[in-house]
Chain A
Amino acid sequence: MQVPAPFEYARASTVDEAIELLGRHGAGARLVAGGHSLLPMMKLRLARPDALVDINGLSDLDYIRVDGDEIAIGAMTRHAGVLGSAVLAEHYRIFAEAERVIADPIVRNRGTVGGSLCQADPAEDLSAVFAALRGTAVVRSASGSRTVALREFHTGPYETVVGEGEILVEVRVPIRTHLGSAYEKVERRAGDWAIAAAGAFVQLDDAGAVRDVGLGLAAVGAEHYTCEEAEDLLRGRPLSDEAIAEAAALCAQRCQPQADQRGPVDYKRHLVGVLVGRALRRSAGRARGEEV
């Protein structure tokens, strides 16, 4: 039987209270959202917090809404909420496509957007999605709130810029027009973490050239879950087969996958090439209004 080591438990009903409780319990305290990454780690003693501050009561952080020219997603939004969101379906198909292959429906009832990003697992699908879309994170502490680009949010595997006494409260994504987006993932079996995954958005101008593009990569050791060189290579060019192949090859070359039970390095690089190509092609098709 796996049981976490003892810890103190406190429940927050507001963001301010959560911050205060974190402060009161000091360096050994951790927030718990859905608990679907943290509790398994505590069972295995990979994490051993002295105190948990439960933020499941912060239902005011469970929202997805248009806010000016951005979409704002509250940190306590569950995966199921992202999957079912009409606002996200209208603007970014990438979200539902990624969510449909994150774990299973029951895990998705519990796991949250904030927990996913803060867990910073190298295979976290939403980290790749938000990296592709160049979202921003809103982080609060006792001294106020700050905004961090999601591409600078993760400082390494299982590490983020969220410091002691801080809480991620919201993620924001710019609304773009003439746009298509898509997510591609290969997994060993339904509900598993990715062997490799790639997401993209493509924005086309009137002449059919790439006005802007974003790429996201999960599980393959891509720096900041993306490949900016491949994005630079595509911007301003027509999205020809050659351009797609070049960008896909560059992603495959630049990422740094590790061999593990999910596969060897060359296989993962190969997948990156294939999946980036597919994600770009489907995004471009959608940007042109095709049903893909």
Chain B
Amino acid sequence: MRISVRVNGDEASGDVEPRLLLVHYLRQTLGLTGTHWGCDTSNCGACTVLLDGVPVKSCTVLAVMADGHAVTTVEGLATSDGLDPVQEGFMQEHGLQCGFCTPGMMLTARALLDRDPDPDEATIREAISGNLCRCTGYENIVRAIRWAAGHPAAEVAKEASL
């Protein structure tokens, strides 16, 4: 079936089998391997991407379901102005160790901040409760997201250009 998906702002189109999962479409067909593929059972959240701005687990969404919609992967977070504040926050606060959970974490965080620019710790923990991290114990991830909340996009861009 022919599909056309807006991925990170660019139109991607092609023929896919209906049974192709979105995670494999992104990784294998489009070569966007930033989206990780972990449990395959919609538990771990490593495969989280934004579908029309909403976090979804792409191992449990068909590529054909994204036809006509917009998908944001971790590759789409940074802009020509520099890193997204969430990415900057993960760097500043050491929000990752092995990095396997990180793309999913960052997209969930991005969607949270778009909805609630100043979330408290409990809200952050609730929002990322569908993203499992085996390394960090979550403390630094929560701090990284708080950092991003305290440094909205404009500020990060300004610091980067100094």
List A residues at the B interface (Cβ < 8 Å): 1-9, 11, 35-36, 39-40, 43, 52, 54, 56, 103-107, 109-110, 190-191
Mask, B16-56, CB within 8 Å of A = 1, is 01110100100000000000000011110100100000111
Question: Which residues on A sit within 8 Å (CB–CB) of B56?
Answer: 106, 109-110
Question: Which residues on B sit within 8 Å (CB–CB) of A43?
Answer: 40
* Contact A36/B60 with A3-B21, A43-B40 known, Cβ cut-off 8 Å: yes
How many chain-B residues does the 8 Å CB contact rule pick out? 28
Complex: how many Å from CA A109 to CA B131? 14
6 A-B pairs besides A6-B17, A104-B130 with CB distance below 8 A are A4-B19, A35-B65, A104-B45, A105-B129, A106-B48, A191-B43
Complex: how many Å from CA A43 to CA B129? 24
Q: Determine if B1 and A39 form an interchain contact, defined as CB atoms under 8 angstroms apart.
A: no
Question: Which residues on A sit within 8 Å (CB–CB) of B127?
Answer: 105
Sampled A-B contacts (19; CB under 8 Å) = A1-B24, A2-B41, A6-B19, A35-B65, A36-B42, A52-B18, A54-B65, A103-B130, A104-B45, A105-B129, A106-B45, A106-B48, A106-B57, A106-B108, A107-B42, A110-B56, A110-B60, A110-B61, A191-B130
Question: Which residues on A sit within 8 Å (CB–CB) of B21?
Answer: 3, 39
Complex: how many Å from CA A2 to CA B40? 7
Q: Determine if A107 and B62 form an interchain contact, defined as CB atoms under 8 angstroms apart.
A: no
Question: Could you tell me the distance in whole angstroms from the C-beta of B64 to the nearest C-beta in chain A?
Answer: 5
Question: Could you tell me the distance in whole angstroms from the C-beta of A152 to the nearest C-beta in chain B?
Answer: 31
Question: Could you tell me the distance in whole angstroms from the C-beta of B46 to the nearest C-beta in chain A?
Answer: 11
Question: Which residues on A sit within 8 Å (CB–CB) of B42?
Answer: 36, 40, 107
Question: Which residues on A sit within 8 Å (CB–CB) of B1?
Answer: 9
* Contact A8/B60 with A1-B40, A106-B130, A107-B42 known, Cβ cut-off 8 Å: no
Q: Which of B60, B64, B108 has the most CB of A within 10 A?
A: B60
Q: Determine if B65 and A56 form an interchain contact, defined as CB atoms under 8 angstroms apart.
A: yes
Closest 5 pairs between A and B when the two form their complex, measured CB to CB: A104-B130, A9-B18, A106-B130, A4-B19, A106-B55
Q: For the complex, is B10 an interface residue (Cβ under 8 Å from A)?
A: no
Question: Could you tell me the distance in whole angstroms from the C-beta of A90 to the nearest C-beta in chain B?
Answer: 22
Q: Determine if A106 and B41 form an interchain contact, defined as CB atoms under 8 angstroms apart.
A: no
Question: Could you tell me the distance in whole angstroms from the C-beta of A81 to the nearest C-beta in chain B?
Answer: 11
Q: Which of A8, A54, A105 has the most CB of B within 10 A?
A: A105
Q: Which residue of B lies closest to A1 (CB)?
A: B40
Question: Which residues on B sit within 8 Å (CB–CB) of A5?
Answer: 19
Question: Which residues on A sit within 8 Å (CB–CB) of B129?
Answer: 104-105, 190-191
A-contacting residues, B125-148, CB 8 Å: 126-127, 129-131
Q: Which residue of A lies closest to B1 (CB)?
A: A9
* Contact A107/B41 with A4-B19, A56-B65 known, Cβ cut-off 8 Å: no
Question: Which residues on B sit within 8 Å (CB–CB) of A4?
Answer: 19
Question: Which residues on B sit within 8 Å (CB–CB) of A54?
Answer: 64-65
Question: Could you tell me the distance in whole angstroms from the C-beta of B117 to the nearest C-beta in chain A?
Answer: 17
Question: Could you tell me the distance in whole angstroms from the C-beta of B144 to the nearest C-beta in chain A?
Answer: 18
Question: Could you tell me the distance in whole angstroms from the C-beta of B2 to the nearest C-beta in chain A?
Answer: 12
A-contacting residues, B95-139, CB 8 Å: 108, 126-127, 129-131
Q: Determine if B17 and A105 form an interchain contact, defined as CB atoms under 8 angstroms apart.
A: no
Q: Which of A3, A6, A40, A110 has the most CB of B within 10 A?
A: A110
* Contact A35/B48 with A107-B42, A191-B130 known, Cβ cut-off 8 Å: no
Question: Which residues on A sit within 8 Å (CB–CB) of B24?
Answer: 1
Q: Which of A3, A104, A106, A107 is in CB contact (< 8 Å) with B19?
A: A3
Q: Which residue of A lies closest to B112 (CB)?
A: A105
Question: Which residues on B sit within 8 Å (CB–CB) of A107?
Answer: 42, 57, 130
Q: Determine if B126 and A105 form an interchain contact, defined as CB atoms under 8 angstroms apart.
A: yes
Complex: how many Å from CA A43 to CA B65? 16
Mask, B61-84, CB within 8 Å of A = 1, is 110110100000000000000000
